[in-house]
Amino acid sequence: MTAASPPVQPLASKDYASDQEVRWCPGCGDYAILKAVLKTLADLSVPRERTVFVSGIGCSSRFPYYVSTYGFHTIHGRAPAIATGIKLANPELDVWVITGDGDGLSIGGNHLLHVLRRNVNLQIILFNNEIYGLTKGQYSPTSRQGTRSPSTPTGSVDYPVSPGAFALGAGARFIARSIDTLQAHLVSVLKRAHQHRGASFVEVFQNCVVFNDAVFAEFTEKAVAPEAQLQVEHGEPLLFGKDKTKGLRLNPATLQLEVVTVGQAGVTERDILIHDERNRTLALLLLGLKPPAFPMALGVIYCDPAPSYEEAVYAQVPPGASAARADLEKLLHQGQTWTVAG
C-alpha cells in the first residue's frame, strides 16, 4: 500500500493542549507554566506520540491531564522512578517529569536524588510554590522559616532546602531556574532543558495564589525585577540592574560573590565574572544568592553534559537482544545436562 501521507502541518500550542478542562484555581501560576510548556512543545514540534508527561501528586502534578501527549499521573513522589522505567523500556521516548516542592523534595527526595545522580535522559520541572497546594496549604521543605500554615500555626522551624543546591549535591548536570510569569525566559530555559542529554532539572518559582500568594514578590514583582533578577547567559558577564551596571565579582579571600557597580569605585566590566555554566563552584555560588542582598539567579546556571544512564545501560546490551526472540534453547541447555532415555 502506498497511500500518500497527509501533508504535515506544523502544530501550534493549542494542538498540544488536551481536551480536558484545566482545574487549577483562577490566577494560579500553574496556568502560565502550562502555557510555556505548550509553546515549547510547539516551537520544537515534538511528536506527540513519542512524548510522555509523568507526574506525582499535587496541584502541579495534575499537569499531564492538560497536555495532548501521553501522560501518567502516578503517585506522590515516585514520578522519577516510574519515568526511569519508561526510559529503560523505551529510550526513544521523550519524557518530562512534573513535580512540586512537596512531591519532589519531601516524599520524593530520594528518587529525585537518584534520577539526577544516574543522569537519566529526561526533563524535570519542579513547580516550587513553597507550599503544599493540593492538601490545602501546609508548609513544605522549601518554605522559609517562620511560615505559618495549618500544620505550623506558630511558624515553621525547619531550615528550608534549596532545590538547586540539593540538585547540585545530588550530581545533577543541568540546573536551571525560571519564573511562572516570565514566559519568554521560561520557554527558552525549557528548550535548553529539552536539548540537554541527561537529566535536566528546572526549578520554576510558581505563585500559589490561594495558600502562599506573593511569596516570591521580592524578586518577581515587575517593579523590582531588574534589580532583583540576574538572568545568566553562558559566556556573558554576570550583570543585572536596570542599566545592567550592577555585576557580580568574586572575592578570592572569602570565596564569596559580591555585588559591585560598574563605573563605581574603579570597577570596570572586566572585574565582573563571566558566566561559565560548566563551572560547578560558580553554580554553587549563584544558587546560593538570596534577595534582597543579592539578585535571584535565573536561567541555565549549570550545564555539564555526560553520557546518560540509559545510553550506558544499552551500551552493555548485545545488539539484537530481544526477549521475544530469546534463544531459550541455548539458555536452558547451557551448563551440565544429562539425558534419560525413553
Partner 1 sequence: MTTSALGAQREVRDHVVIRFAGDSGDGMQLTGSQFTLETALAGNDLATFPDYPAEIRAPAGTTFGVSAFQIHFGSADIQTAGDEVDVLVAMNPAALRVNLRDLRVGGTVVVDTGSFTERNLAKAGYPSNPLEDGSLVPYQLIKLDISKLTLDAVEPFGLSQKEALRCRNMWALGLMLWMYDRDRQATVDWLNRKFAKRPELAQANIAALNAGHAFGETAEMSPIAAYQVRPARVEPGEYRTVTGTEALAWGLLAGARAAGLEKLVFGSYPITPASPLLHTLAGLKAYGVVTFQAEDEIAAIGAALGASYAGALGVTSSSGPGIALKTEALGLAVATELPLVVVNSQRAGPSTGMPTKTEQSDLYQALFGRNADSPLVVLAAATPGDCFEVAMEAVRLATKYMTPVILLTDGYLANAAEPWRIPELASLPSFPVRFRTDPSGFHPFVRDPKTLARPWAVPGTPGLEHRIGGIERDYQTGHISYDPDNHQRMTEVRAAKIAGIAQDIPLQDLALGAPGGKLVVVGWGSTYGPIVQAVRQAREEGLDVSHIHLRYLSPLPRNLGALLRSFERVLVPEMNYGQLVTVLRAAYLVPAQKLSKVQGQPFKVREVLEGIRAALAES
Ligand X SMILES: Cc1ncc(C[n+]2csc(CCOP(=O)(O)OP(=O)(O)O)c2C)c(N)n1
H-helix or E-strand containing 296?
A: strand 296-303
Nearer to partner 1, 134 or 267 (CB): 134
Asked if residue 161 binds its own copies (CB under 8 A), the reply is yes
Q: Which of residues 201-260 bind its own copies (CB under 8 A)?
A: 250, 252, 254-256
HEC-encoded secondary structure of 164-223: HHHHHHHCCCEEEEEECCCHHHHHHHHHHHHHCCCCEEEEEECCCCCCCCCCCHHHHCCC
Q: Does 80 bind Mg ion (CB under 5 A)?
A: no
Quick one: what does residue 282 bind among its own copies, ligand SF4, partner 1, none, with the CB cut-off 5 to 8 Å set by partner type? its own copies
316 binds partner 1 (CB under 8 A): yes
Return d(Cα 210, Cα 214) in angstroms, integer. 10
Q: Which residues of 189-227 are buried (b: 16+ CB within 10 A; e: fewer)?
A: bbebbbebebbbbbbbbbbbebbbeebbeebbeeeebbe
Among 53, 201, 211, 309, binds ligand SF4 (CB under 6 A): 211
Q: Cis before residue 292, ω within 30 degrees of 0? A: yes
Residue 105 · residue 126 · CB < 8 Å: yes
Place of cell 503517585: 75
- Taking CB under 6 A as the criterion, the residue among 102, 163, 237, 299 binding ligand X is 102
Interaction of residue 78 with partner 1, rule CB under 8 A: yes
Candidate residues 75, 161, 209, 267; the one interacting with ligand SF4 per rule CB under 6 A: 209
Q: Kindly tell me which residue out of 129, 149, 156, 229 binds Mg ion, with binding defined by CB under 5 A.
A: 129
User: How far, in Å, CA of 4 to CA of 21, rounded?
Assistant: 35
268-287 binders of its own copies (CB under 8 A): 279-282, 284-285
Q: Are 53 and 83 in contact (CB under 8 A)?
A: no
Q: In which residue are the cell numbers 510569569 written?
A: 181
Listed ranges 23-31, 70-78, 105-113, 233-241: which one lies at the site for ligand SF4 (CB under 6 A): 23-31
**Nearer to its own copies by C-beta: 47 or 155?**
155
Residues linked to residue 126 through DSSP beta bridges, in sequence order: 99, 203
Joined together, the cell numbers standing for residue 193 give 532543558
**110-129 mask for ligand SF4 (x: CB under 6 A)?**
-------------------x
**Residue with Cβ nearer ligand SF4 (29 or 299):** 29
CB of 168 to its own copies, least distance (A): 6
- Applying CB under 8 A, the span of 25-33, 38-46, 126-134, 164-172 interacting with its own copies comes to 164-172
d(CA 108, CA 284): 22
Contact residues for its own copies (CB under 8 A)? 106-110, 113-114, 117-119, 141, 154-155, 157-162, 165-171, 250, 252, 254-256, 279-282, 284-285, 288, 306, 309, 312-313, 315-316
Contact residues for ligand X (CB under 6 A)? 57-60, 76, 100-103, 127, 129, 131-135, 140
